[in-house]
Structures are given as C-alpha cells and as structure tokens.
Amino acid sequence: MKIIIPIKRVLDPYTQARVNKQTEQVDLANAKMAMNPFCEIAVEEALTLKESGAASETIAVSIGTDKTVDTLRTALAMGVDRAIFIKTESELDLQPLHIGKILANIIRREEAELIIMGKQAVDNDNNQTGQILSGLLDYSLGTFISKFELSADASSVEVSREIDSGIEIRKLNLPAIVTVDLRLNEPRYASLPNIMKARSKPLETIELDSLGIDTSPRIKVISVVESGTKDRASKQISSAEELFSELNQMGVL
Amino acid sequence: MSALILIELNGSEVNASSRAAITAASQLSDSIDALVLTNDSSNSESVSKLAGINSVKMIVDDALEHANVEVASKLIAEAMSGYKYLVSGSSTYSKNILPRVGALLDVQPISDVCEIKSNNTFVRPLYAGNIMATVESSDEIIIMTVRATAFEHSGDGGSAKVEALSSTIPESNSTFISLQESQSERPELTTAARIVSGGRGLGSKENFALIEQLADKLDAAVGASRAAVDAGFISNDYQVGQTGKVVAPQLYLAVGISGAIQHLAGMKDSQVIVVINNDPDAPMSRMADLVWQTDLFVALKELNEYQI
C-alpha cells in the first residue's frame, strides 16, 4: 500500500504574522518558514505505518516555488521514501480547490490508496483541502482524526474523529483520505545522519504548467489587516469580593 | 438570488451556529430556505419554527443519522440546484461536509466568515485570527461557513412549510461505528454566557477540579488552554483557541493561562475578560478588563468559598 502525504510550507507557527505596509500582503519575504505542524503529524503517522510493515512506500508531495524543496527534504529526513515537487514559477495564490485538483492528478498517477494530511494549514486556516480532494477523487473521508487503525487485511481504517459533540468512530474503506488533528501523535525530529541521507533520496520535479490545471483564482484577496488583540484597560483587583462586585456592576453574572 | 442554509441539529434542537448562519444569509438574500439531513422526520418541527426561513427542505433517511460525509455532500450538491448561496455555521459538522460539496460543484468555499461586506465580499481570519482578510469570490455559487460568534443567533417565530425531498441515497464507503459524547451538565462551551478557563498553571488534573467548582458556582462552562489539554488535565473538547473552540461569552475568566497567540484568537471577542495569574507580563493580562495578580490557588480558594 502506497501512502501519499501532501505537505505545506508555511510561516513558522511561532512567528507573528505581519502585514508588509508596502506590498499590503502578509510579509513572508524574510520570514522563517517551516512545515505546517499538522503536516508533521501526518508524516509521522505515515512513517509509523511504514515501520509496522503495513505500507510499502511513503511519498511526500508539495507545491510551490523552489524554496518548497526545503520542506520536502525535511519530510525525507524524517523518513519519507521519496518526494514529488510540483514546481510553480512564481508565488501563486493557489486555493484549496486548485491544490485538490493538482493532488488528485498526482494521486491518480501514483494509484495511492491512502492519503494522510493535516486538517488545516496554519497560514490560511481554511480546513478544506482534504475534504475537497476526497470529493474530487470520490474517496472515503475521515477528518480531524486523533486515532487511526488499519485493518489486518489493509482494506479499511478505523478512525476516531474529534467533533464538537465528542469523539466519533468510523470505518473507512480504502481508498481513503484522512486529515489529522493535533493529538494523533508526537512527530519525530530528523536526526543529523538522516538529514544527510535525505539529500540523496529521490525527489521528482513536475512543472505545474505541464499538468494543464486551471489555477486562475476563484477568491481574490482584496486586503489584509493585522487584527492582533486589542489591549484593554486592565483594572487591578485583589479580592473575591472586589471581583464579584465589579462583575455585578458590569452585569455579567 | 436565494440562499440555502445547511442546518445542524443537536438531537432535535437547531445548533446555535446554524442560527448565526441564518443571520448571515439574511444580509445576502431575502429568500432563505433551510436544508435538513436527518433520520427523523419529526425534526422538521424545530426547523420550521426558525424565523426568517421560507421553506424547509428535508431529506430523511436512516443513513443520515450520523452525517455520513460522502452521502451528505452528494445530496447537498443536488439540493443546491437554483441556489446562489450555501451557508452554514463553522462547526465540525459543516467543516467536514461543505468543502466536499464545493469539490462536487467546482466551487472554492470560504471558511469562517466573520463579516459580510457585499454579496460576494467577505472578511475572514487567517493566521489564527492575527490577520483579517477581505476576500472576493468570483464563483457563480458561493459556499461559506460563518463564525457563530460573529453573527447574532436568529430566533424562532417563523412557520415555514416543510417539503420532503425525494433523494436517492448514494452508496457509501464508510460506516459509523460509535459516538462517545462528551457528557456535561454544564452549559455548552461555544454558546455559554460565562466561561471559566484553566491553563498549565493549575499543575494537575486534580487541581483542575477547582476550575470546575468555580464554573458550577457561576453557572459557567469550563474551558482550557491547549497547554492544559496537552498536559492531560482535561480532555480536548474543552480547548479554547484557534485549533479548539472559538468563544465570545459575556464573561471569560482565565486562570493560570499565559495567553498563547492561538488561545487569544479563540476568546478575544469576549465581552468581559478577567485574568487571574501571578505573572504580570503574561500576554493574557494585557487583554483583561480585570486582573487579579496573585497565586491562582489562593484566588480560587477565596472565590470558591465566597458567598455570592
């Protein structure tokens, strides 16, 4: 069984997103970038399956300019077998529907039966790509999973989904797409020898244009502003009595 | 230019986020219908009473009891014939289904809409709410989820006619096994008027019970920071933040929470914010209306013993 792990390069999640006043866009030019944290969890899950003998091959896929190769090399250093790099000539505003179409093309070509990916990317926070991809391929879908178990005959997976009302357990027949939540696992770090080894692992480059997919934007970003968090007056209090009296006056009790 | 609301039911009750979706849709269209996928036709009753709804379209089938996404997305895509908008609340229910509907209709959906600027222009959060983007859709059909905290929750008072859609239920490759519902006597986190939330500062699962005690005293819901959830003090469905639940209660009382960006993004719109913490430099304190800088165990003891 082949596993494909689509991954995304994003602004390092521990970095504050800023709007560049000149370009009026989120400033990524000199920012520290990293693999989307949910994608790291997806990679870890795929590697665990490979190590258990259930998967024959793990393949990371990412889309972007040349810098995206760094993120694919990170996945290779973590232990993924090979990588597919969909190269764009410039920074395109690719949206989940476009990304879904690109990934569907690669997944059909590779005949992969299991797709493991993050539930959302921490830059645009869409929480859409896995769902869209499942619709395009008509694969079964398990979103927001915190537990994953492959059946002994590798024909289905049982997943625990984190939903608003609790945990839902479903059985998905393969081929399937799962999108992972934070608590599924603890992703490993790439060791130095593995980082060295990753340099010689196979990385195939495909020009986006060669796939013939219409990537004209469906959604145009008109403007972005920093919302931040507004500081408030912060009155100091020092007792329960004072707190309850203030809250009563504010009428929130 | 009519709108269809995908209604989420909790038992037979309409979810609060669906009520927010009706308010949002009313800014886009004066002809709003509701779509309900359910296994129980008696559920039409609570939906038909919703104010602002023209007609209720129902698809009733046993297969729809637990929102099978493969089935639901096909049925919704079919039901969208003739509609310009598909609007639903930002819940795990809708986030699971709507993008798949988008794929079937070749539409790029818009997540977590917080404000409607025009019939195709919306404001939505990026980067855990640190950036607000104004986006314009060029799709013929617009599919969106809306933040339940950003729109009023539309009430009852309507008497919409109910129409059963005779849809063919497609085959599916997934099956429901079980649901472990989080049991709580307390108000539901996303719709509670008051929330008492605890962080890593509580130190242990046993100590976290002090938060629950205070919540019961105030008839409040219990919340937690991601640090508290990761430390195993409380289960993840109590997590407030960008990757947990987004809340905007009248009162948010944060105890032992330093205020990571992603937590602040999930509660910054609360009406009154109270912070109990011994660290005056915690980012959380800057957002507070009231700050009690003290050892949190001292404060919790005093609050739990105080006679209101």
Asked if residue B225 is part of any domain, the answer here is yes
In chain A, residues with a C-beta closer than 8 Å to the C-beta of B265 are: 229
CB atoms B237 and A166 under 8 Å: yes
- What's the pLDDT tens digit per position in B263-292? 988 898 899 999 999 998 899 998 999 999
CB atoms B108 and A182 under 8 Å: no
CATH code assigned at B19:
3.40.50.620
CB atoms B131 and A19 under 8 Å: yes
CA distance linking residue A7 with residue A28, whole number of Å: 18
CA dihedral of B81, B85, B91, B92, whole degrees rounded to 10? 40
CATH superfamily of A2-220: HUPs (3.40.50.620)
Asked if residue B158 and residue B218 are part of one domain, the reply reads no
**Rounded average pLDDT over B96-108:** 98
- What's the pLDDT tens digit per position in B182-221? 777 788 888 889 999 999 999 999 999 999 999 999 999 9
Asked if residue B160 and residue B38 are part of one domain, the reply reads yes
Assign residue B145 a region (left: φ > 0; alpha: ψ between -120 and 50; beta: otherwise).
beta
Q: What is the per-residue pLDDT for A2?
A: 96
Count: domains in chain B: 2
CB atoms B66 and A168 under 8 Å: yes
Residue of B nearest to A170 (CA): B176
For residue B292, how far is the Cα from the chain centroid? Answer: 30
Q: What mean pLDDT value characterizes chain A?
A: 94
Least Cα separation, residue B156 to chain A (angstroms): 23
Q: Name residue A116's beta-bridge partners.
A: A178
Pairing of strands A114-118, A140-150: unpaired
Asked if residue B241 is part of any domain, the answer here is yes
Query: Which of A36, A128, A138, A149 is most worth mutating to test chain B (most B CB atoms within 10 A of its CB)?
Result: A128
Under 8 Å between Cβ of A107 and A86: no
Please check the confidence at residue B98 and state whether its pLDDT lies above 80. Answer: yes
CB atoms A226 and B194 under 8 Å: no
**Does residue B9 or residue A29 have the better pLDDT?**
B9
Q: What is the per-residue pLDDT for A239?
A: 95
**Rounded average pLDDT over B220-238:** 91
CB atoms A223 and B134 under 8 Å: yes
Under 8 Å between Cβ of A82 and A202: yes
In chain B, residues with a C-beta closer than 8 Å to the C-beta of A246 are: 290
Asked if residue B63 and residue B28 are part of one domain, the reply reads yes
CATH code assigned at B237:
3.40.50.1220
Q: Which of A89-98, B64-73, B258-267, B293-302 ranks highest by mean pLDDT?
A: B293-302
CA distance linking residue A123 with residue A120, whole number of Å: 9
Asked if residue B175 is part of any domain, the answer here is no
Asked if residue B159 and residue B125 are part of one domain, the reply reads yes
Q: Is the peptide bond before A175 cis (omega within 30 degrees of 0)?
A: yes
Asked if residue B146 and residue B196 are part of one domain, the reply reads no
ipTM of the complex, rounded to two decimals = 0.94
Asked if residue B209 and residue B148 are part of one domain, the reply reads no
Interacting residues of B30 by C-beta distance below 8 A, sequence separation 6+: none
Mean pLDDT lowest for which of A221-235, B80-94, B148-162? A221-235
CB atoms B108 and A96 under 8 Å: yes
pLDDT bracket for residue A228 (50, 70, 90):
low
Residue of A nearest to B285 (CA): A234
Least Cα separation, residue B115 to chain A (angstroms): 14
CA distance linking residue B288 with residue B282, whole number of Å: 11
CB atoms A218 and B139 under 8 Å: yes
3-state secondary structure A102-157: HHHHHHHHHCCCEEEEECCCCCCCCCCHHHHHHHHHCCEEEEEEEEEEECCCCCEE
Question: Of all helices (H) and strands (E), which one includes residue B28?
Answer: none
Asked if residue B279 and residue B240 are part of one domain, the reply reads yes
Go through chain A and tell me how many residues it has. 253
CB atoms A162 and B236 under 8 Å: yes
Q: Name residue A114's beta-bridge partners.
A: A3, A176
CB atoms A26 and B104 under 8 Å: no
Asked if residue B154 and residue B39 are part of one domain, the reply reads yes
In chain A, residues with a C-beta closer than 8 Å to the C-beta of B268 are: 229-230
Asked if residue B137 and residue B193 are part of one domain, the reply reads no
Least Cα separation, residue A197 to chain B (angstroms): 33
- What's the pLDDT tens digit per position in A74-127? 999 999 999 999 999 888 889 999 999 999 999 999 999 999 999 999 999 999
Q: What is the per-residue pLDDT for A89?
A: 87
Asked if residue B171 is part of any domain, the answer here is no
Interacting residues of A235 by C-beta distance below 8 A, sequence separation 6+: A246, B289, B290, B291
- Residue range(s) defining the domain that contains residue B8: 3-164
Asked if residue B214 and residue B133 are part of one domain, the reply reads no
Query: Which of A123, A162, A243 is most worth mutating to test chain B (most B CB atoms within 10 A of its CB)?
Result: A243
Least Cα separation, residue B221 to chain A (angstroms): 13
Query: Which of A36, A38, A149, A170 is most worth mutating to test chain B (most B CB atoms within 10 A of its CB)?
Result: A170
Query: Which of B243, B269, B277 is most worth mutating to test chain A (most A CB atoms within 10 A of its CB)?
Result: B243
Domain chopping of chain A, boundaries? 2-220
Asked if residue B10 and residue B139 are part of one domain, the reply reads yes
**Candidates A97, A172, A234; nearest CB to B288:** A234
Backbone angles phi, psi at A117, to 5 degrees: -145, 165
Distances (CA, A) of B14 to A102, B89, B125, B304: 37, 11, 25, 34
